[in-house]
Structure 1
Amino acid sequence: MTRIGSSSLDVLPLALGGNVFGWTADRDTSFEILDAFHAGGGDFIDTADGYSAWVPGHSGGESETIIGEWLATRKPSNVVVATKVSQHPDFKGLSAANVRAAAEASLKRLGVDTIDLYYAHFDDVSVPLEETVAAFGDLVADGLVRYTAVSNYSAARIREWVGYAQAAGSALPVAIQPHYNLVHRGDVEETIVPVAEEFGLSLVPYYALASGFLTGKYRTTDAAGQSSPRAGGAAKYATAQGLAIVDTLEQIGRGHEASIAATALAWLRAKPTVAAPIASASRVEQVADLLASTRIDLTADEIARLDAVSEWSPAKV
C-alpha cells in the first residue's frame, strides 16, 4: 500500500482510470472491470465529471454515474474515488460557485456523501486562483470533499495554490496529476517533481501507458493506421526511440515474467514522488495485467536501463 501525500488515503499503488466507462466500455463491461480490479486488491478509482462528454450523444458525467451504480450495488469497502472539476459542459471553469455546484453534482452521480480526492482538472486563468483555492477549502470544511488536488497545473501555479491555502489556513493539496510516462518525461521531471518534493505532494500520473503505446501493441511506425479510438494518440510515440523503449520493456519484463505494460507501470511507480499511476482497461481481460504491475519491483539497474533508453534533453535555462 502507498500513502497519497500527507493524506490518510492508503491505496494499492495503481489507480483504475474511469475515462473509458461509458465510452469504450459499456455499463456491463465497466462493472466487470471494476469487479475484477477490486477482487484483485485494487481500491483506487480515478474519474472526472467531464467523462465522457466528447462521445456523441453524451452530456458528461457518464463515468461517474457508472461508478456510482457499481458502488451502490457492490458496496465495496475501503475504495478511494477521485474525481475532477472544470470540464463538464454544464460546469465549466473554476469559479467558486461552479466548483460548489459541480461537486454537488458529482456527489449525486457517485452516490456518496464525500469525495475522497477532488482535483481541479485544468487551470482556469479567467478566475482568480485565490477564489478557486478558497472554494476547494470550503468543500473540505463543509465535509463534501476529504482531500484536494490539482491536475495539469504548472509548477508556478501549484506553488501559488499552496501559498494561498497556507495563508488562509485552508486545505492543502495532497496530489498532482500530470501527464507522465516513459515517452513523456521532460517537463514533469524538470518542474513538477521538484514542487511535489518541496510540498510533500504525490504524483498520480495519467496516460501512464501513453494511450496504449506502452502496452507493446504498436511495434511499427504505422500506428496511425490502427482502428482503436486511442490509436491516434499512440501514433506519435511510434518513433525509433519509442520502439526502443518498448523493446527494452519487453526484455526487462521477461525477467519478471511480466508484460510490457506491467513493466512500464512498475518503472513509473518507482520514480520519485509517484504514488499510483493511472491505467484504464476496456476489457476485463486487461485488468490482471495492470494489477501485476503493483507486484513488480524493478532493480536499480533495470530502472537505469529504462531511464537511459527514454532519455530526454533538459530545457536550456
Structure 2
Amino acid sequence: MTQLLPLDRAASERADVDYPTLARRRLLGSAGPRVFPVAIGGNAFGWTAAEDAAEAILDEYRSFGGNLIDTADSYAAGRSESMIGNWMHSRRNRDELIVATKIGKSAESPGLGTGAVTAAIDASLRRLRTDRIDVLFLHVDDRKVPFEETLVAVDENVRKGKVRFVGASDHSGNRFIEARVIAAQLGLTPFIALQCRYSLTHRTEFEGALANVAEQQRLGVMPRFALDGGFLAGNYRSRSELDLNSTGNVVLGGDAESHLNRRGQRILATLDRIAAEHESVPASIAIAWLLSKPTVTAPVVGVSNAGQVADLVGAIDIRLTRQQVAALDEVSV
C-alpha cells in the first residue's frame, strides 16, 4: 500500500535535496504529505535530551534527508515542541519539514472536547513557532466526549488552516471505521494516518483488525516504540546491562525489561544473525522489518543522542529477503 514517489531530477534540484533521498519518500496515507520512511521522535527532547542534544539529533537527521518530525504537546510538558520550534526557527527550514504532533494528554488542555482541541492546537502552534501543524494526531481516545464533537472541532481548525492532515493514535479499528462514517456524513476531514505501538516485540495491538482497517482505508501507519526501549537495538541483553545503560544509551519508547526472557533472547539472536548478513546492526534490521510490512509508512523512533541516528535511517537501504522476514516473523510470534 505504501507508495514510493517517482521524481525527476529537476524536481530534486529545485528542492535542494539529492535525488535518491527524494525518491525514497512515501505518501503518508492515500493523500497525505510525502515523508521520509523513518520519523524522528521528539519524546526525549526536554527529558533525557537537552536543547543542544536535541538540535544535534535534528541536524543529523536532516543531513540524511529526513523530513518527518513527530512530537506531542504532553512530551516534557510541551518542552519537546518548544525545542523543535526553536530549532526550526534558527535553521529557517520549516517549509522543508513535515511536523506531526499529538493532542489530548497535556496537563493544560486535557481531553478532546471542543475547547480543549482548539486550545491545545493554539498552544502547540505557539511552541512550535509555526502557523500550521502538518499532521495532527488525537493522542487519546477520549470516551468522555462524543466522537462527533471531537472530529468537528478538529475539522474547524483544518478549515482555518491551522492543521493540514489528521490522524489518530492508539484508537481501535472500530473507532477508525466510526470516524470514517462520521466524516463522510458530515463532510469532515477524514483520518489519513494512524500511530500505535508496533515492533518485533509488540505485534498484537496492530496486527489483525487494526492492520485490516489501515489497509482498507489506505491509512499511513507510523509505528511507535519501534525499538521497544532500546531492547531491539541490542542495548540490553541482561538485567545488569539494563541498569548500566539506563542513562545515555537509550533509544526511547517501550519496556526493555519485560523482554529479558527466552522469547526476547531468540529475537535478539535472529536480529544479530541477519544484521551480520547485511553488515549492519540489530536496530537497523528491526526497523527494516517494520518497513517490509505493506501498511507501514514510517516508524517513529526517539533517540537521546545524535550518534544513534545513522543506524536508524540506515534501515531504509536494507532489503530483507523473504527468508529473513519469515525468520523474524516466526521468532517474534
TM tier, smaller? over 0.9
Structure 1 residue 249 corresponds to structure 2 residue 271: yes
The correspondence for 2:75, drawn from 51, 54, 57, is 51
The letter of the residue matching 1:120 is: L
Paired residue for 1:314? Answer: none
Offset from partner CA, 1:45-95 (integer Å, 9 cap, x none) = 00000001xxxxxxx110000000000000125211100100110010000
Identity among equivalent positions (%) equals 40
Q: CA deviation at 1:8?
A: 3.6
Q: Is the 8 A contact 1:21 1:63 kept in 2?
A: yes
The letter of the residue matching 1:198 is: Q
Q: Which runs of 5+ in 2 are unaligned?
A: 1-24
The letter of the residue matching 2:329 is: D
2:112 alignment partner, SS class: coil
Paired residue for 1:2? Answer: 26
How far apart are the structure 2 equivalents of 1:272 and 1:31?
32
How far apart are the structure 2 equivalents of 1:187 and 1:222?
29
- Counting only pairs closer than 5 Å after superposition, residues 138-217 of structure 1 correspond to structure 2 as 138-217=156-235
How far apart are the structure 1 equivalents of 2:37 and 2:222?
9
The letter of the residue matching 2:277 is: G
Offset from partner CA, 1:21-49 (integer Å, 9 cap, x none) = 11111000100110000011111000000
Paired residue for 1:228? Answer: 246
Paired residue for 1:286? Answer: 308
Q: Structure 1 residues 167 and 222 mapped into 2: Cα distance closer, same or farther (>3 Å)?
A: farther
The letter of the residue matching 2:26 is: T
Q: CA deviation at 1:272?
A: 2.5
Structure 1 residue 20 corresponds to structure 2 residue 44: yes
- Counting only pairs closer than 5 Å after superposition, residues 288-307 of structure 1 correspond to structure 2 as 288-307=310-329
Q: CA deviation at 1:223?
A: 5.8
- Counting only pairs closer than 5 Å after superposition, residues 59-138 of structure 1 correspond to structure 2 as 60-76=77-93, 77-138=95-156
The letter of the residue matching 2:56 is: E
Q: CA deviation at 1:220?
A: 2.6
Q: Structure 1 residues 165 and 309 mapped into 2: Cα distance closer, same or farther (>3 Å)?
A: same
The correspondence for 1:269, drawn from 288, 291, 296, is 291
Q: CA deviation at 1:11?
A: 1.1
Structure 1 residue 29 corresponds to structure 2 residue 29: no
Q: How many pairs are equivalent?
A: 304
1:91 alignment partner, SS class: coil
Structure 1 residue 310 corresponds to structure 2 residue 317: no
How far apart are the structure 1 equivalents of 2:157 and 2:272?
45
Q: Is the 8 A contact 1:222 1:238 kept in 2?
A: no
How far apart are the structure 2 equivalents of 1:228 and 1:158?
36
Runs of 4+ residues deviating >4 angstroms: 221-224, 229-232
| TM-score of the superposed pair, with normalisation by structure 1 | 0.93
Q: Is the 8 A contact 2:237 2:260 kept in 1?
A: yes
Q: Is the 8 A contact 1:223 1:234 kept in 2?
A: no
How far apart are the structure 2 equivalents of 1:244 and 1:41?
34
Q: Is the 8 A contact 2:32 2:192 kept in 1?
A: no
The letter of the residue matching 1:26 is: A
Q: CA deviation at 1:187?
A: 2.6
Q: Is the 8 A contact 1:83 1:119 kept in 2?
A: yes
How far apart are the structure 2 equivalents of 1:253 and 1:227?
21
CA RMSD of aligned residues (A): 1.5
Q: Is the 8 A contact 2:72 2:101 kept in 1?
A: yes
Offset from partner CA, 1:268-309 (integer Å, 9 cap, x none) = 111121000011111111111111011111111111110011
How far apart are the structure 2 equivalents of 1:207 and 1:49?
18
| TM-score of the superposed pair, with normalisation by structure 2 | 0.88
How far apart are the structure 1 equivalents of 2:180 and 2:242?
41
Q: CA deviation at 1:233?
A: 2.0
Paired residue for 1:315? Answer: none
Q: CA deviation at 1:224?
A: 5.3
1:291 alignment partner, SS class: helix
The letter of the residue matching 1:3 is: L
Offset from partner CA, 1:118-163 (integer Å, 9 cap, x none) = 0000110000001011111111111100000000111111111111
